[in-house]
Amino acid sequence: MQDKREPIVYIISDSIGETAEFVVNAVASQFNSGNVTVRKEPFLTNVERLKQVIKEASQVNSMIAFTLVMPELRQAVYEEAKKYNLPIVDVLGPMLEGFSKIMPADPRLEPGLVRRMDEDYFRRVAAIEFAVKHDDGQDPKGLLQADVVLVGVSRTSKTPLSMYLAHRKLKVANYPLVPEVEPPQELFWIPKNKIIGLTIHPDILREIRTERLNTLGLKARANYASMERILEELEYARRIMRRLNCPVFDVSNKAVEEVASKVFHVIKELETDEPK
């Protein structure tokens, strides 16, 4: 005779249990109203507590759905559930066994890896959105929220470097230094090791700017690419960087990855120096 008591699904997990919960809700929706009570036991890594939960579940109309990566915990579920003739579903076990047959390495058996991967993903997305929002001097008030701020004249790889660093989960803002525009006061409130100055050899900058103008179909002799203007901008940038007292990297003929490595080194030193 079918048990008429309200069905309960106990979710046992060594992480937050959202994977099992998603599966439970998806399956429950296939049964008329899908009304079941879900009771989660997250971050369960103790065999004795596991036994208590299964004993409690055995006293009501219930089943166990579990996502446990540690073999000893999974085995304990099987053994305890068998005592009470309690239905169980191992959400991860069959998939782990299947992957073990095709993967070159053994599973890491660490709880919560998916959640950590998700957190990394969302941090990366947030950093990229931040870099786009604060590219080329947009929203100067946001400079204080950045992990690192890049300053330099136009065409010193500020934007490509910002995006490269953002993909590695750093919130990056960049600000162009132009002689006719006074930098925002927020720039001078930032700790010096959170600001990176970017400079470049004038001849190389002239080549880059000339090529840029050609791409845009503009005259190569425009002031933007003149040596006089370039020298003026670079000297102005040097003065600002001295005021900021920030590290300065020469990006002449440097790959973005090479400059990024230097930036990471500065940030790491800053984190080491900060009081705990």
Predicted confidence band at 22 (pLDDT cuts at 50, 70, 90)?
Answer: confident
Q: Fold identical between 8-111 and 117-273?
A: yes
Q: Quick one: average pLDDT of 168-174?
A: 93
Domain boundary assignment for the chain: 8-111, 117-273
Q: Could you report the per-residue pLDDT of 193-210, keeping only the tens digit for each?
A: 899 999 999 999 999 999
Q: What is the pLDDT of residue 2?
A: 45
How would you class 186 by CB atoms within 10 Å of its CB: exposed for 0-12, middle for 13-18, buried for 19 or more?
middle
DSSP string, 141-164: GGGGG-SEEEEESTTSSHHHHHHH
Between helix 47-57 and helix 71-83 the angle, nearest 10°, is 30
Is the predicted pLDDT of residue 4 greater than 70, yes or no? no
Predicted confidence band at 39 (pLDDT cuts at 50, 70, 90)?
Answer: very high
Q: What is the pLDDT of residue 104?
A: 73
- Alpha carbons within 13 angstroms on the beta-carbon side of residue 210 total 10
Q: Which has more pLDDT, 151 or 15?
A: 151
CATH architecture of 117-273: 3-Layer(aba) Sandwich (3.40)
Q: Quick one: average pLDDT of 29-48?
A: 83
Q: Quick one: average pLDDT of 2-7?
A: 66
Q: Quick one: average pLDDT of 180-191?
A: 94
Best CATH choice for the domain 8-111 from the list 3.40.50, 1.20.120, 1.10.600, 3.30.2320: 3.40.50
Q: Which has more pLDDT, 47 or 99?
A: 47
Neighbours of 222 (CB within 10 A): 13
pTM above 0.75, yes or no: no
Q: What is the pLDDT of residue 246?
A: 95
Q: Quick one: average pLDDT of 45-70?
A: 91
Q: What is the pLDDT of residue 1?
A: 42
Q: What is the pLDDT of residue 220?
A: 52
- For the record, the structure tokens of 250 come out as 């020469």
Comparing CA positions, the residue from 9, 17, 10, 8 lying closest to residue 68 is: 17
Instruction: Give the CA distances from residue 127 to residues 21, 57, 196, in Å, rounded to whole numbers and listed in that order.
Output: 29, 44, 18
Is the predicted pLDDT of residue 68 greater than 90, yes or no? no
Per the prediction, the chain carries an average pLDDT of 87
- For the record, the structure tokens of 257 come out as 């990855």
Is the predicted pLDDT of residue 276 greater than 50, yes or no? no
Q: Quick one: average pLDDT of 168-180?
A: 95
Q: Which has more pLDDT, 89 or 221?
A: 89
Q: Which has more pLDDT, 4 or 59?
A: 59
Q: Which has more pLDDT, 163 or 100?
A: 163
